[in-house]
Every structure is written in C-alpha cells, then in structure tokens.
Chains A and B, each alone.
Chain A
Amino acid sequence: MNIKNIIVTTVILFIFWILLDNTFELLNLLLGAGLALFLSLIFCRSCNVFGDMKLTPLGITYTFIYLFVFFIELLKSNLDVARRVISPSLPIKPGIVEVKTSLKSPMGRMILANSITLTPGTLTVDIEEDRLFIHWIEVKTADPEQATNEIVRKFEKYLEKIYG
C-alpha cells in the first residue's frame, strides 16, 4: 500500500469535489473529504501513478514554476502557429526527429511528452523507452543531441526536480 499515492489521489478528488459542488458548507466539505478518502482507499491501493512525485517544498515550488513556464510556452506556440498560418508563403520545413530524455519516471515522461506537444512547432509522435520521436514543423537540426537541447531541455530541468 502506497501512502503517498492515496494522499495525492485524495487531495485531487477533493479539489474536484469542491470545484463541482461550488458551495462552501461545512457538511458538504466533510462529505466530500470522506468520499475522496474512501474512493482512493478502494481504487488506489495498487496504482502507482504518483509514486515518484516529490512532495517536498522544493518539488511543489518547481511544480508552480513549471506551470508558469508551460503557459508562456503555450502562448508562444499559438502565436507561432498563427503566424505560420497567416503568412501567404506558409513557411514550414517539417520532419520527424529523435530526442532523448533523462527522466526515469513514467509520469514525468508523460508530462514531458504532453508539454512538447503543446509547445511551439513540436508534436510527440511516439515514445520508446528514453527516446521520443517528435514531428517538428521547422526542423533546425537533425542531430539528436542538438534537437534534445532545443526541444526537451527547457522542460526537463524543471521536471527533473519534481520527478527525479
């Protein structure tokens, strides 16, 4: 039984309860907390989704920094796509490149792949062990190491702190 998993699942379920319920009466909150704990005890005894998340103050701080960086990249990515779509010459130079990640945890890798998809000009096509195949709308370099520096680095340095 993984205590950390159950705690994280309970907190997430409780936050969802508050958001959906939208009233702040004591009885409702207590019921929600009870249900959240009950459900995570039933369903999350053997799941191992949050097992390698670091719940230290440093990890939580980096989670927020990461969210901030992510939103900036999301905005940049949309402006980038908008620019490409509007310009009459359609400036694209697409290709699929290979990059490597140093993250070990499956959850960390999933978040990395999703973040790559939502950032400027890149789309994760497949992931195999530590190699990610990425469709890049404007290929700057075909060399795996340089592509890794270009695409993965900016997220990896935060995710490393959160997931190790």
Chain B
Amino acid sequence: MELVGAIIVLIGSIFLFLGALGILRMPDSFNRIQAGTKATTLGTLLSLAGLIFLMPGWWGKLIVLIMFIILTNPVSSHVLARAAHHIKTPLTPQTVIDKYADEENKELDNHKTEVA
C-alpha cells in the first residue's frame, strides 16, 4: 500500500519536474503557461492521489483539494495569458498566426471612433 502511494507520488513529481523544465525551455510567456498548466495539473493531482494511499484517513480532504485544483488551475492560466496579451507581451518569432491581436485592434479602433 505504501509502495503504491510512493510510486504514484514519484510519477507526480516527475511531471512537476517536466513542467518546471518546460517553463525554462519554452521561448515565450504563452508557451510557458502551456507547459506550466498542463504538467502541474497532472503532477499535483498524482501527488495528492498518492497521498491518499499513504494517509488513508485524509482521503476526503485530499479529494476536495484535487477538485479545487482541477477547477482553478485552468482559470488562473487563462487570466495570466489574457493579461499577458493585453500588455502586449511579445510572442516568439516562431508564432505563425495571432487572430486575437486583430480582434484587440478592432476594439481599440471602435473605442477611438466613440471617443472622437
């Protein structure tokens, strides 16, 4: 039982490590957020799931933690990405398309005509 838990926690920490590596290696904020969100979600999830095997008495609280992480992790990364785009964080030169920039410019033009 303890061995199973330890192995699951180990796999989780490997994913967390890969997420950290991704944050270092990726070229711009958006790709870093991508690597960060995905690897940490499964990494944290597996670490907590492994703890259920190690500490069976904590299962309820650990499940609550897992649910909160699944709910909040994508929201926070979405808000980070949105804010990064709004302050015009440069995208990597490898970027092939940016539909969102066109949309923001359109909004800005509308605003200008309204003010004028």
Residues of A at the B interface (CB closer than 8 Å) are: 16, 18-22, 74-75, 77-78, 80-82, 84-86, 90, 92-98, 113-115, 117-118, 121, 123-126, 128, 133, 135, 137, 139, 142
Contact = CB atoms under 8 A, between A and B. Distances in A.
Contact of B85 (A93, A113, A125, A137): A125
A137 B18 contact: no
A117 B35 contact: no
Interface residues of B, number: 47
Contact of B94 (A19, A93, A128): A93
B27 to A, nearest CB: 8
Contact of B82 (A97, A98, A126): A126
Contact of A82 (B39, B61, B94, B100): B39
B78 A86 contact: no
Contacts of A81: 18-19, 22, 34-35, 38-39
Interface of B: 15, 18-19, 21-22, 25-28, 30-31, 33-35, 37-39, 41-43, 57, 59-61, 63-64, 70-71, 73-75, 77-78, 81-82, 85, 91-92, 94-101, 103
Nearest to A147: B99
